[in-house]
Amino acid sequence: MSRSKERKAGKGMKRTEMVTRILDLFHKKPEEVFSLKTIFEQLHFKTHPMKMLCLDILYDMTEDEYIIEVERNRYRLNKRGTEMVGTFLRRGYKNFFQAEEGGEPIELPDRNAGHAMNGDKVRVSCYAKRPGKAAEVEVVEILEHAENTFVGTLEVQKHYAFLISENQTLPNDIFIPKDKLKGGKDGEKVIAKIIDWPEKAKNPIGQVIEVLGKSGDNNTEMHAILAEYGLPYKYPENVEKAANHISGEITQEEIAQREDYRVPVTFTIDPKDAKDFDDALSIRPLSEGLWEVGVHIADVSHYVQENSIIDKEAVKRATSVYLVDRTIPMLPERLCNFVCSLRPDEDKLTYSVIFKMNDKAEVKDYRICHTVTRSNRRFTYEEAQTIIETGEGEFKDEILQLDKLAKILREARFKAGAINFESVEVRFDIDENGKPLSVYFKESKDAHKLVEEFMLLANKTVAEHIGKVKGGSKPKVFPYRVHDLPDPEKMDNLAQFISRFGLKLKTVGSNKEISKSLNQLLDTIHGRKEENLISAVSIRAMAKARYTTHNIGHYGLAFSHYTHFTSPIRRYPDLMVHRLLTRYIDEGKRSANEQKYEDLCEHSSAMEQLAASAERASIKYKQVEFLSERIGQTFSGVISGITEWGLYVELNDNKCEGMIPLRDLDDDYYEFDDKNYCLRGRRTKKTYQLGDPLNVQVARANLEKRQLDFKLV
């Protein structure tokens, strides 16, 4: 638009404001032809300067082919653009349209959103492109609603209420009539469903479908987090009932059909608060320098029949969810904590991989079989760690031998190109009301690594058993856990990022060479203040692991074949693997339906991501709650993120992350340098960069938004 760019009209109406008004008029009635007189009248352009500016804008819009002058001084919106179908996305406070056929998302203004909400399948009209501008799209039809339930806090007035949600994908609060509150009171957290959104109404109309409880109460907040991610927080009664009818008794007939493994020394090693023990290890010497190691996994598939009521609920959930203070199990409590759990001194049905290994941890032979086992002891990780460190304790010979073999397996894995990612896990000591008393970090020690190595070995062996076929024949359908190669562009970005810390990374060469370079980087930063930051950025440069029937190998573990077999109590893909193993090994049946299992894999991957998001949200909530009682206290930290609106700082003591808003850096005018990822003072040239140490004070803690604000000390 060439002329009069800054010209004002009448009483201070700027060109941009007039453009918006004219656009709104055309978009509201896209089929109508407007005369110049009608435009002036409807938009109240009464003064001569206003009319002149309006003519100027209409001229430019006609030149841009955004509108059509059908006759002299008569205009219509140019709807020559194509119609497309895709997904409406709301990110922060902006709207985007993602076409089904792909391509870059197109931004669209609120006036063109047509009450569409995040994730809705929509049809849009794409209007002619204006020079220097992106094509403008408008939602013309909502084909399918993605979600219509939201979590929020009630604000109840005399005759009506509003649901106030922190969900940024909901552009407006939900209006709730008084008779649709379902007993919800002012200040309570609820789940509400949108039932209508009249075309001319600013707010959608909803009804309360569940009252979660008083805002701020621990149970209420944890349930709200689960509901926010569409995850269940209680079990349907009919599923519980079905589980309670399952007998845990093992008949002699069942034992006769299995290998009896109740004699070798067998034990579980788990976190101290665990109740679902789904894996156990056994070891016994066979001859000089030869060992038999058993990895025994709870045989959930014996109890949970495919398509049963329990199985259908397990499919829906796909995974157990681990929040800060609770586990929301995939299976009903009777199954996960009692019938299937490998509790000490109880006979249990298991699915086992039995290895013959020499002193060099080389697998000489293995077999996969249904077994009956009996755990002699339930170890916590801390107890097993003490035995490894002191060489003293119950079953010390067995634990020390397994530790020796695990360390050899681990070394061989890294030699083959596995990547040694060890991220710090934040944990809380909480009281009986869920209040966080202190923060600690979960470290991976030798006891954790011992269990990990044998689980990895079992998973890899099972995947190879089905996936590695001779003579060029096609492998049978099977769920794999795959991890793609890192994106070269992301690796280049990572290399540029770490160069600021004087570090180097090889981004070209064989997979093994790149993995080796990554491991050297992770070793170098161990114990340094920026370790957590660089580890997190490195992990983000990697592809995400997922489930699929199309095996491409697992880059991070350096395995050509890998699956999940070892946790069927808490992951549905493991249960699928157990069933298919039985189908192929014991029953010798032909390959399963690929599409059915690919769909289940996709669903399991999606649910895994949701569960991880909910877990992160619960940790963030507890971190904010923990620091809300420490307002004004000073902590040391490092800059963990930089944006145009401020600095993110992660505290060293507790890994809580908060923001110093840009407006609070008042000693200079700071500008965001996106190329060098830093803030730089215009006058003083003072620079804030990632990894810089800072002392900060806790300024504000917003539990509703799960946000912390810091102040620079």
How does pLDDT run across 667-702, given as a tens digit for each residue? Answer: 889 988 876 778 999 999 899 988 788 999 999 999
Q: With cut-offs at 50, 70 and 90, classify the pLDDT of residue 211.
A: very high
Element spanning 537, H or E: helix 531-541
Residue 302 has pLDDT above 80, yes or no: yes
Predicted local distance difference test score (pLDDT) of residue 11: 52
State residue 485's pLDDT score. 87
pLDDT tops 60 at residue 7: no
Cα(604)–Cα(549) distance, integer angstroms: 12
Give CA–CA dist 151/212, Å, rounded.
9
Residue 528 main-chain phi, psi, to 5 deg: -85, 160
For the chain, give the mean pLDDT: 89
| Residue with the two structure tokens 């339906």 | 593
Do the Cβ atoms of 137 and 76 come closer than 8 Å? no
Which one-letter DSSP state was computed for residue 211?
E
Contact 258/370 with Cβ under 8 angstroms? Answer: yes
pLDDT in tens, 218-239: 999 999 999 988 899 889 999 9
What pLDDT was estimated at residue 648?
93
For the cut 90, the answer to whether the pLDDT of residue 96 exceeds it is no
Q: Is the pLDDT of residue 393 over 70?
A: yes
Cβ(79)–Cβ(30) under 8 Å?
Answer: yes
For residues 370 and 417, which has the higher predicted lDDT (pLDDT)?
Answer: 370
Q: Using a CB cutoff of 8 Å and minimum separation of 24, what contacts does 314-318 make?
A: 314/572, 314/575, 315/572, 315/600, 315/603, 316/232, 317/231, 317/232, 317/572, 317/607, 318/571, 318/572, 318/573, 318/603, 318/604, 318/607, 318/608
How far is it, in rounded angstroms, from Cα 70 to Cα 86? 31
pLDDT of residue 5: 39
Greatest mean pLDDT among 153-162, 358-367, 429-438:
358-367
Instruction: Report how far apart, in Å, the C-alpha atoms of 141 and of each of 85, 102, 145, 198 are.
Output: 9, 19, 11, 14
Backbone torsions φ then ψ of 280, nearest 5 degrees: -135, 155
Q: What is the mean pLDDT of residues 561-570?
A: 98
Say what the pLDDT of residue 264 is.
96
176-193: pLDDT as tens digits: 999 999 999 999 999 998
Question: How do residues 257-273 score in pLDDT, each as one tens digit?
Answer: 999 999 999 999 999 98
Distances in Å between the alpha carbon of 277 and those of 49, 243, 461, 547, 573?
79, 18, 21, 23, 17
Determine the pLDDT at residue 132.
52
CA distance 92 to 248: 50
Which is nearest to 709 in space by CA: 622, 628, 626? 628
Q: Which of 480, 455, 616 is nearest to 546 (CA)?
A: 480
Lowest mean pLDDT among 16-20, 38-42, 306-310, 608-612: 16-20
Mean pLDDT of the 462-478 span: 92
The token duo for 448 is 């954790």
pLDDT average, residue stretch 9-32: 79
Task: Please state the three-class secondary structure of 146-203 as a single string.
Answer: CCCEEEEEEEECCCEEEEECCCCCCCCCEEEEHHHCCCCCCCEEEEEEEEECCCCCCC
3-state secondary structure of 612: helix
Distance CA 585, CA 573 (A): 18
Higher-confidence residue of 145 and 233: namely 233
Residue 90 β-bridge partners: 95
CA dist 114 and 117 (Å) reads 9
* DSSP-derived secondary structure letter, 292: E
pTM for the full predicted model = 0.81
Q: Six-digit token pair at 616?
A: 């992160």
Considering the chain, what percentage of its residues have pLDDT values greater than 70? 96
Looking at residue 4, its pLDDT comes to 40
Q: What integer is the mean pLDDT of 126-144?
A: 70
Q: What is the pLDDT of residue 317?
A: 97
The per-residue pLDDT for 82 is: 66
Buried b vs exposed e over 448-473: b needs ≥16 C-beta within 10 Å?
Answer: bbbbebbbbbbbbbbbebbbeeeeee
Burial of 577 (0-12, 13-18, 19+ CB in 10 A): buried
The answer to whether the CB of 122 falls within 8 A of the CB of 85 is yes
User: If pLDDT is split at 50, 70 and 90, which confidence band does 134 have?
Assistant: low
Distance CA 608, CA 546 (A): 9
Band (pLDDT 50/70/90 cuts) for residue 456 is: very high
Which pLDDT belongs to residue 492? 87
Residue type, 707: Q
Residue 276's CB: how many other CB atoms inside 10 A?
Answer: 23
Query: 12 or 193: whose pLDDT is higher?
Result: 193
Instruction: State the residue for tokens 């059915």.
Output: 596
**Strands 137-144 and 94-99, bridge-based pairing:** unpaired
621-630 residues labelled b (16+ CB within 10 A) or e (exposed): bbbbbbbeee
pLDDT of residue 256: 96
The values of phi and psi at residue 310, to 5°, are -70, -40
**8 Å CB contact between 100 and 110:** no
Residues 6+ apart with CB under 8 A from 298: 277, 278, 279, 340, 341, 342, 348, 349, 350, 351, 568, 569
DSSP string, 549-579: SS---BTTTTBSS----S-TTTBHHHHHHHH
Mean pLDDT of 469-495: 89
Question: pLDDT: is 223 or 105 the higher one?
Answer: 223
pLDDT of 128 reads 58
Q: What band does 452 get if pLDDT is binned at 50, 70 and 90?
A: very high
| Rounded distance between C-alpha atoms, residue 615 and residue 621, angstroms | 10
| pLDDT tens figures, 645-658 | 889 999 988 889 99
Q: CA 602, CA 392: separation in Å to the nearest integer?
A: 46
Q: Which long-range contacts (CB under 8 A, 24 or more apart) does 251-255 make?
A: 254/349, 254/372, 255/372
